[in-house]
C-alpha cells in the first residue's frame, strides 16, 4: 500500500512516514492510500475482546504498511492510550454507554485535553518524534484550530526537542476554557497566535504560508494530515465491538462534524471491512456538509459562531478525500472539482455526471441542529440518563435520535462538557463539577500567552521567521 495525492494523475507513491511529515501534498491535494487494507471476518472476531491498545495497534499496522516497525508501533499505542493519559472508565479508553433514549454514546474525550482530538494527537506526537529522530531532522509545524485541535496538539507536542509547533486560532469564538487551555501550553516549543478573523481565515493562512517555497517544509497537525485520519479509525472498531452482539451485525454511527475528519475515519473503517451500515454526518447551523449530502452541491458559506464552535466551518477540507472516491479515484476530475470550488465557491456533483445518490450508496446520511435543539437535547439527556453532554455531542444525539432505525445507533461524544460551561449553564442552570485536573485552569493563564496578528500571511511568516531563527 502506498500513499497517493488526490490531485496527482502520475500517482507518485509515498510512504506513510513521508506523508506524516509532509502533511499536504505538493500539488495541493490530500494524501490517501492507493487501496484500503482489509479485515477479514476472522480477524475481526480475533480482535473483538482485545483491549483498546491492541485494537489501535492492529488497525494502525494495516494502515501504515510497515513504515514503522511493529514493536515501536505497539509501544506507541500502549503509551498514547495509557492510564496516565486517559481517565479510563471501567478500563475502557473509548467506552460506549446505552442512554435512556435507546442511543449508544461512545465517549472519545477522556484524554488530556477533553476532546476527541486527543485520540489522534497522542499518536501523532509520538510518530512524528520517532520518525524525525530516525531521520535526524527537526520540523516546524503550522496548524489552525477552532479550539480543540490546538490544545490537543500542544499537549502531545509540548517539550519535544525536534518539533516547534505554532498554532493559529481565531481571536473570537473559542470558549474561555479552550483559550485558557491553549494558553497554558505557551512557551518553549509551543507558539500560540491569535488571528483577527475566523477559523477559516486561520486555515487559509496555513495553506497560504505553506505555498511560499521558503515555508514549503512546514509540517501539519490538522486533519489534512493523513496520520490524523488513520489514528481515528481504531475507535470505530472499538465502538463496533462494544455494541455488536455478533461480528457481521450492522451498526450506524452519528458523528458531529466540521472539517469532515472524524466521520471520514469512520468511512475508512467501513471500507476496511467493519460492518458499518450508515454514517450520519451531523452539523450545526454551519450546515455546508448537510446541504452537500442532501443535494450534492458543495458551497462555501461564511461561517457563523455557534454554541458548538469546534464545528464552525465554511468548508470541510477532508471532503476532498471522499470526493476522490466518488469520482472513481480520478485525480484529474478531483483537481478540476476542487478548482471550481476554490475559484467560484460552489461545485455540483451532477456537473461531473455523478448523482447525489452516490453518497447514500457509500453509507452517508446527514442532518443539522440549531442552538435550541442542542439545549433541549442537553436537558433531555440529563433527564433520561443523568449524564451531562457537551453541545457538540448534543448535536450528534439530536440528529442520531431522528435517524435511528432498528439498527444500533452509536453517537460519538466529541468533547467533555467542562469545555463549554456557558452553554451547559444555559441549558441546565448549573455546571457539573470539573474533573480535578481542570480546576482553576483559567487562573494560571498569563497575558502574553497569545500573539495577536491580522489575518495576513506576511504577518504570520514574519513571526515564524523570528521564532524559528532564535532556536
Ligand atoms: C474537531 C471537533 C469536531 C469536528 O470534527 P471534524 O473532524 O473536524 O469533523 C466536533 N466536535 C468537537 C468537540 C471537535 O473538537
**pLDDT at residue number 446:** 65
- Using DSSP's 3-state secondary structure scheme, residue 164 falls into strand
Q: Is the CB of 107 under 6 A from ligand 1?
A: no
Assess contact for 98 and 104: CB atoms under 8 A. Answer: yes
Q: Is the CB of 286 under 6 A from ligand 1?
A: no
Q: Is the CB of 258 under 6 A from ligand 1?
A: yes
Q: Whose CA is closest to atom 1 on ligand 1?
A: 310
- Using DSSP's 3-state secondary structure scheme, residue 279 falls into strand
Expressed in angstroms and rounded, the spacing between residue 397 Cα and the centre of ligand 1 is 14
DSSP labels, 177-230 = HHHHHHHTT-BTTEEEEEEES-HHHHHHHHHHHHHSGGGTT-B--STTSHHHHH
Average pLDDT over residues 195-214: 91
Expressed in angstroms and rounded, the spacing between residue 161 Cα and the centre of ligand 1 is 28
117 as an active site residue: the answer is yes
pLDDT over threshold 70, residue 469: no
**pLDDT at residue number 416:** 95
Q: Is the CB of 150 under 6 A from ligand 1?
A: no
Expressed in angstroms and rounded, the spacing between residue 246 Cα and the centre of ligand 1 is 30
Atom of ligand 1 nearest to the CA of 259: 8
* CA dihedral of residues 115, 118, 120, 125 (deg, nearest 10): 150
**pLDDT at residue number 132:** 97
* Phi, psi (degrees; rounded to nearest 5) at 4: -125, 155
Residues 169-197 pLDDT 10s: 999 888 888 899 999 999 999 999 999 99
**pLDDT at residue number 10:** 79
Cell numbers at residue 272, please? Answer: 476496511
Pocket test for ligand 1, best of 30, 106, 143, 148 (most atoms within 8 A of CB): 148
Pocket test for ligand 1, best of 414, 418, 419 (most atoms within 8 A of CB): 414
Q: Is the CB of 259 under 6 A from ligand 1?
A: yes
Assess contact for 139 and 98: CB atoms under 8 A. Answer: no
CA distance 31 to 16: 9
Cell numbers at residue 298, please? Answer: 458543495
Residues 444-456 pLDDT 10s: 766 689 999 999 9
For residue 106, what is the enclosing H or E element? strand 104-107
**pLDDT at residue number 200:** 86
**Quick one: pLDDT band at residue 207, thresholds 50, 70, 90?**
confident
Assess contact for 173 and 199: CB atoms under 8 A. Answer: yes
Closest alpha carbon to 227 in 119, 338, 309, 151: 119
Q: Whose CA is closest to atom 7 on ligand 1?
A: 261
Cell numbers at residue 307, please? Answer: 454554541
Residues 398-423 pLDDT 10s: 999 999 999 999 999 999 999 999 99
Cell numbers at residue 363, please? Answer: 453509507
pLDDT over threshold 50, residue 251: yes
Assess contact for 317 and 222: CB atoms under 8 A. Answer: yes
**pLDDT at residue number 258:** 95
CA distance 11 to 21: 19
The predicted model scores a pTM of 0.96
- Selecting among 60, 62, 84, 117, the annotated active-site residue is 117
CA distance 147 to 168: 10
* CA dihedral of residues 165, 124, 169, 392 (deg, nearest 10): -160
The single residue listed with the C-alpha cell 467506552 is 95
CA distance 44 to 55: 10
Q: Is the CB of 175 under 6 A from ligand 1?
A: no
Contacts of 131 (CB under 8 A, 6+ apart): 17, 20, 21, 68
CA distance 91 to 95: 8
pLDDT over threshold 50, residue 471: no
Expressed in angstroms and rounded, the spacing between residue 115 Cα and the centre of ligand 1 is 8
Average pLDDT over residues 80-88: 95
Q: What is the mean pLDDT of the chain?
A: 95
**pLDDT at residue number 441:** 85
What interhelical angle do 148-157 and 117-135 show, nearest 10? 40
Left if phi > 0, otherwise alpha if psi is -120 to 50, otherwise beta: which for 147? left
Least confident range from 218-227, 282-291, 333-342, 435-444: namely 435-444
pLDDT over threshold 70, residue 255: yes
Percent of the chain, pLDDT > 90?
86
Assess contact for 393 and 105: CB atoms under 8 A. Answer: yes
Half-sphere exposure of 421 (CA within 13 A, CB side): 13
Q: Whose CA is closest to atom 2 on ligand 1?
A: 310
Residues 294-304 pLDDT 10s: 999 999 999 89
Average pLDDT over residues 261-281: 98
CA distance 131 to 138: 10
Expressed in angstroms and rounded, the spacing between residue 262 Cα and the centre of ligand 1 is 7
CA distance 211 to 424: 41
DSSP labels, 12-67 = --B-HHHHHHH-S-TTS--EEESS-----HHHHHHHTT--HHHHHHHHHHHHHTTS
CA distance 281 to 105: 15
Residues 146-170 pLDDT 10s: 889 999 999 999 999 999 999 999 9
Q: Is the CB of 115 under 6 A from ligand 1?
A: yes
Contacts of 296 (CB under 8 A, 6+ apart): 348, 349, 350, 354, 355, 356, 359
Query: How far lies 28's CA from each of 203, 230, 314, in Å?
Result: 14, 20, 19
Amino acid at each position: 500500500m502506498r500513499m497517493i495525492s488526490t490531485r496527482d494523475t502520475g500517482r507518485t507513491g509515498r510512504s506513510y512516514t513521508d506523508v506524516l511529515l509532509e502533511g499536504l501534498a505538493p500539488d495541493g491535494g490530500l494524501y490517501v492510500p492507493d487501496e484500503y487494507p482489509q479485515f477479514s471476518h476472522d480477524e475481526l472476531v480475533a480482535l473483538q475482546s482485545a483491549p483498546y491498545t491492541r485494537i489501535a495497534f492492529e488497525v494502525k499496522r494495516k494502515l501504515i504498511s510497515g513504515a514503522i516497525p511493529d514493536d515501536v508501533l505497539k509501544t506507541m499505542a500502549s503509551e498514547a492510550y495509557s492510564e496516565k493519559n486517559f481517565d479510563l472508565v471501567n478500563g475502557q479508553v473509548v467506552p460506549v454507554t446505552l442512554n435512556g433514549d435507546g442511543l449508544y454514546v461512545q465517549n472519545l474525550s477522556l484524554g488530556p485535553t477533553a476532546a476527541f482530538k486527543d485520540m489522534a494527537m497522542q499518536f501523532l506526537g509520538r510518530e512524528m518524534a520517532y520518525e524525525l529522530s530516525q531521520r535526524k531532522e527537526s520540523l516546524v509545524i503550522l496548524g489552525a484550530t477552532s479550539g480543540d485541535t490546538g490544545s490537543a496538539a500542544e499537549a502531545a507536542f509540548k517539550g519535544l526537542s525536534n518539533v516547534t509547533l505554532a498554532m493559529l486560532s481565531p481571536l473570537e469564538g473559542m470558549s474561555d476554557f479552550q483559550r485558557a487551555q491553549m494558553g497554558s501550553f505557551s512557551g518553549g516549543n509551543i507558539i500560540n497566535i491569535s488571528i483577527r478573523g475566523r477559523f477559516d481565515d486561520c486555515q487559509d493562512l496555513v495553506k497560504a504560508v505553506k505555498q511560499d517555497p521558503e515555508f514549503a517544509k512546514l509540517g501539519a497537525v490538522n486533519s489534512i494530515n493523513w496520520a490524523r485520519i488513520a489514528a481515528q479509525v481504531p475507535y470505530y472498531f472499538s465502538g463496533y465491538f462494544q455494541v455488536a452482539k455478533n461480528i457481521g451485525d450492522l451498526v450506524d454511527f452519528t458523528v458531529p462534524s466540521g472539517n469532515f475528519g472524524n466521520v471520514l475515519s469512520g468511512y475508512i473503517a467501513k471500507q476496511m471491512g467493519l460492518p458499518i451500515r450508515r454514517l450520519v454526518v451531523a452539523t450545526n447551523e454551519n450546515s455546508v456538509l448537510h446541504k452537500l449530502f442532501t443535494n450534492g452541491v458543495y458551497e462555501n458559506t461564511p461561517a457563523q459562531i455557534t454554541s458548538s464552535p469546534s464545528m464552525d466551518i465554511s468548508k470541510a477540507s477532508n471532503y476532498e478525500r471522499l470526493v476522490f472516491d466518488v469520482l472513481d479515484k480520478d485525480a484529474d476530475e478531483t483537481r478540476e472539482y476542487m478548482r471550481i470550488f476554490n475559484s467560484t465557491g460552489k461545485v455540483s456533483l451532477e456537473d461531473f455526471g455523478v448523482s447525489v445518490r452516490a453518497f447514500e450508496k457509500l453509507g452517508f446520511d446527514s442532518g443539522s441542529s440549531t442552538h435550541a435543539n442542542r439545549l433541549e437535547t442537553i436537558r433531555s439527556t440529563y433527564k433520561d440518563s443523568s449524564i451531562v453532554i457537551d453541545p457538540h455531542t448534543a448535536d450528534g444525539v439530536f440528529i442520531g435520535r431522528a435517524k435511528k432505525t432498528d439498527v444500533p445507533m452509536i453517537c460519538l461524544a466529541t468533547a467533555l462538557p467542562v469545555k463549554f460551561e456557558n452553554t451547559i449553564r444555559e441549558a441546565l442552570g448549573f455546571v457539573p463539577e470539573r474533573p480535578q485536573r481542570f480546576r482553576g485552569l483559567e487562573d494560571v493563564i498569563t497575558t502574553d500567552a497569545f500573539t495577536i496578528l491580522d489575518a495576513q500571511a506576511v504577518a504570520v511568516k514574519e513571526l515564524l521567521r523570528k521564532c524559528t531563527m532564535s532556536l
